[in-house]
């Protein structure tokens, strides 16, 4: 119709072109294997992405083909993040912590035609190689050419890049076509693939950069410590390029001391990662302080950030913490917690309670909670139900799977499997994963709330609560606790007493098991499946 806006395609090349035109001198810094820092500009990135586009063509990658990446966060991974979608292929980020069986499963399921591998994790990939049938080319980087490997059809990234032309015209992209593929971490059964489109990622990029979200600008130095193999590193690589923010990519160096040093040396303004990383960083900074004065927001998500840790960061280290909630299926960011103007009058103590919530939906994401029969529940801060979301960057099916009512409602909402309450002002708080709730004598107990309260105890470092079978009550909570190394003796009774004033009697764990370590999933979350297996013999109960 005449008078309408342009039909402007929302494709990834436009994000890259913008970074090149407007922010050519902004920097991407990578900590390489061996510890040296590699640094180049967005202009360098741009030219190398064009070369890489030619490399992909020479390998026979065609529109719609899946290209796997198996790598830490690095500039080469970033080049793939752009070159693969900009040649109309699909960038399939493979989780380097999957078991060989699951890794082979996702490569075969996606039918990856080529896989680009960071040599630092080559031995991990090699363990799965025998079970993989579809890959025609393996390309290695961060290694000298000619290295021995049991993989077939291997070539070397820098050799291919050196031979490739730098001229390349972007073409063949459609905003509705797939550009990225990421599998869920497979905590319940086989991983499921989520296909991102150019359009969904473009809109997600704008959504997370918004002032009510991460408020990214060219003044930022963003350090995605969240892996690029998990949920597109929260979309930060694309958002940084669009905003012109510098990027710091930590490679394999995720130890608290490494992260602390990078934050100080690179003057990082937005470090982003899961709570386990930040609890380690806090311990590190307490024992060996570093300059954290450039941090404007410590972004955290992927699992609940314990309230005591938020409070400790803010009061002891003067670091502002922003929690977010999301899923692979939501690209991933769904909600973020920025305090709002009506919070200015509340007491500091109450602020921590709010900051421990998962937050407000990004502009563009809708959410609702429903009861077991699918009836809508009110936003009153009390009613608790399944969280459902919809929006332009929310999945409407899994890759190669017919949408089922188990995951997608008939009226167009995605069922998250999380249980939440929503306050009158629209602030969402995750109560639990539906499968992690403990149902004792017909009443729900939130494992997350007990974990938070346990972490409030000065001697508790980590806590996980799971359901164990009980003859009378069907299920009862069991707490698994890691104490601080210098905590000395703490008894079960002392911890139960600590919880006593906070919860109804029936919430108190019947047993507390002290352990040296709580197992973590491939993306660094508490691995409750493995705990359930250890304590009940049944990972799924």
Interface with ligand AMP by CB under 6 A: which residues?
184-185, 231, 301-304, 323-328, 332, 358, 416-418, 430, 433, 523
Instruction: Write down the catalytic residue from 79, 175, 329, 449.
Output: 329
243 vs 448, which CB is nearer to ligand AMP?
448
Beta strands in 396-510 (DSSP E): 414-422, 428-433, 438-440, 443-445, 460-470, 474-483
54 vs 388, which CB is nearer to ligand AMP?
388
Q: Which helix (H) or strand (E) holds 310?
A: helix 307-316
Cα 198 from Cα 89, distance rounded (Å): 11
Instruction: Verify whether residue 187 is a known catalytic residue.
Output: no
Q: Which helix (H) or strand (E) holds 54?
A: helix 42-58
Q: How far is the CB of 185 from ligand AMP (least distance, A)?
A: 4
184 vs 252, which CB is nearer to ligand AMP?
184
Cα 233 from Cα 235, distance rounded (Å): 5
Among 166, 182, 224, 6, which Cα is nearest to 98's?
182
Q: How far is the CB of 325 from ligand AMP (least distance, A)?
A: 4
Q: How far is the CB of 398 from ligand AMP (least distance, A)?
A: 12
Q: How far is the CB of 357 from ligand AMP (least distance, A)?
A: 9
What are the distances in angstroms from CA 46 to CA 81, 172, 240, 340, 396? Answer: 12, 19, 14, 38, 32
Instruction: Write down the catalytic residue from 444, 491, 511, 540.
Output: 444
Asked if 91 and 70 count as a contact pair (C-beta separation under 8 A), the reply is no
Instruction: Give the three-class secondary structure for 362.
Output: coil
Q: How far is the CB of 183 from ligand AMP (least distance, A)?
A: 9
250 vs 273, which CB is nearer to ligand AMP?
273
Instruction: Verify whether residue 439 is a known catalytic residue.
Output: yes
85 vs 227, which CB is nearer to ligand AMP?
227
Can you read off the two tokens belonging to residue 6? Answer: 């342009």
Q: How far is the CB of 293 from ligand AMP (least distance, A)?
A: 26
142 vs 323, which CB is nearer to ligand AMP?
323
Beta strands in 99-255 (DSSP E): 114-118, 137-141, 154-156, 178-183, 193-197, 221-224, 246-249
CA 435, 440, 441, 443 dihedral sign is: negative
What are the distances in angstroms from CA 237 to CA 62, 190, 229, 298, 369? Answer: 24, 27, 12, 17, 31
Strand 438-440 vs strand 443-445: parallel, antiparallel, or unpaired?
antiparallel
Can you read off the two tokens belonging to residue 246? Answer: 């510098």
Q: How far is the CB of 444 from ligand AMP (least distance, A)?
A: 16
Can you read off the two tokens belonging to residue 290? Answer: 């570093």
Asked if 117 and 103 count as a contact pair (C-beta separation under 8 A), the reply is no
84 vs 182, which CB is nearer to ligand AMP?
182
Instruction: Verify whether residue 502 is a known catalytic residue.
Output: no
Cα 328 from Cα 175, distance rounded (Å): 20
Asked if 212 and 363 count as a contact pair (C-beta separation under 8 A), the reply is yes
CA 426, 430, 433, 436 dihedral sign is: negative
Asked if 535 and 515 count as a contact pair (C-beta separation under 8 A), the reply is no
65 vs 462, which CB is nearer to ligand AMP?
462
Contacts of 491 (CB under 8 A, 6+ apart): none
Give first-to-last CA distance, the chain, whole Å: 56
244 vs 271, which CB is nearer to ligand AMP?
271
Strand order from edge to edge, sheet including 385-390: 366-370, 385-390, 414-422, 428-433
Can you read off the two tokens belonging to residue 161? Answer: 């890049």
Helices and strands of the chain, counted as H and E runs: 15, 25
Asked if 117 and 80 count as a contact pair (C-beta separation under 8 A), the reply is no
Instruction: Write down the catalytic residue from 30, 184, 269, 297.
Output: 184
CA 53, 57, 63, 64 dihedral sign is: negative
Place of tokens 């370590």: 517
Q: How far is the CB of 38 from ligand AMP (least distance, A)?
A: 28
254 vs 389, which CB is nearer to ligand AMP?
389
Catalytic residues: 184, 329, 439, 444
């Amino acid at each position: 119709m005449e008078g309408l806006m342009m039909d402007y395609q929302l494709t990834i090349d436009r994000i890259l072109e913008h970074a090149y035109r407007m922010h050519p001198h902004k920097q991407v810094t990578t900590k390489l294997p061996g510890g040296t820092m590699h640094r180049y500009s967005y202009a360098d990135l741009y030219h190398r992405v064009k070369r890489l586009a030619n490399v992909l063509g020479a390998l026979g990658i065609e529109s719609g083909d899946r290209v796997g990446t198996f790598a830490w966060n690095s500039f080469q991974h970033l080049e793939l993040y752009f070159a693969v979608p900009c040649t109309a292929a699909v960038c399939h980020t493979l989780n380097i912590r999957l078991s060989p069986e699951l890794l082979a499963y996702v490569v075969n399921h996606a039918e990856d035609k080529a896989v680009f591998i960071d040599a630092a994790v080559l031995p991990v990939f090699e363990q799965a190689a025998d079970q993989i049938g579809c890959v025609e080319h393996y390309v290695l980087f961060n290694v000298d050419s000619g290295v021995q490997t049991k993989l077939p059809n291997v070539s070397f990234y820098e050799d291919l890049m050196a031979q490739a032309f730098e001229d390349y015209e972007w073409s063949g992209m459609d905003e509705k076509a797939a550009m990225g593929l990421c599998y869920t971490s497979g905590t319940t059964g086989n991983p499921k693939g989520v296909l991102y489109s150019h359009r969904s990622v473009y809109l997600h990029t704008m959504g997370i950069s918004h002032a009510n979200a991460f408020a990214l600008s060219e003044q930022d130095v963003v350090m995605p410590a969240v892996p690029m193999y998990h949920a597109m590193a929260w979309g930060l690589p694309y958002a940084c390029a669009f905003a012109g923010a510098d990027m710091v990519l930590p490679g394999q160096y995720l130890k608290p001391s490494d992260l602390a040093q990078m934050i100080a040396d690179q003057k990082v303004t937005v470090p982003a990662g899961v709570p386990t990383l930040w609890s380690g960083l806090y311990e590190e900074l307490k024992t060996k302080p570093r300059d954290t004065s450039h941090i404007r927001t410590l972004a955290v998500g992927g699992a609940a950030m314990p309230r005591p840790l938020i409070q400790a960061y803010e009061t002891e280290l003067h670091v502002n913490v922003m929690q977010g909630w999301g899923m692979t299926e939501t690209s991933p960011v769904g909600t973020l917690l920025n305090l709002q103007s009506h919070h200015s009058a509340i007491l500091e103590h109450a602020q921590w309670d709010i900051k421990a919530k998962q937050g407000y939906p990004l502009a563009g994401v809708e959410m609702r909670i429903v009861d077991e029969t699918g009836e809508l529940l009110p936003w009153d801060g009390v009613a608790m139900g399944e969280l459902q979301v919809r929006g332009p960057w929310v999945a409407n099916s899994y890759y190669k799977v017919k949408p089922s009512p188990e995951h997608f409602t008939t009226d167009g909402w995605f069922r998250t499997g999380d249980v939440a309450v929503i306050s009158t002002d629209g602030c969402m708080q995750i109560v639990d994963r539906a499968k992690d709730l403990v149902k004792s004598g017909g009443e729900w107990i939130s494992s997350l709330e007990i974990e938070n309260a346990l972490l409030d105890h000065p001697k508790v470092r980590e806590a996980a609560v799971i359901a164990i079978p009980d003859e009378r009550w069907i299920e009862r909570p069991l707490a698994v606790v890691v104490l601080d190394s210098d905590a000395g003796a703490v008894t079960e009774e002392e911890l139960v007493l600590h919880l006593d004033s906070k919860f109804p009697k029936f919430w108190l764990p019947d047993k507390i098991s002290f352990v040296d370590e709580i197992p973590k999933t491939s993306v660094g979350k508490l691995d409750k499946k493995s705990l359930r297996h250890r304590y009940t013999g049944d990972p799924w109960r």
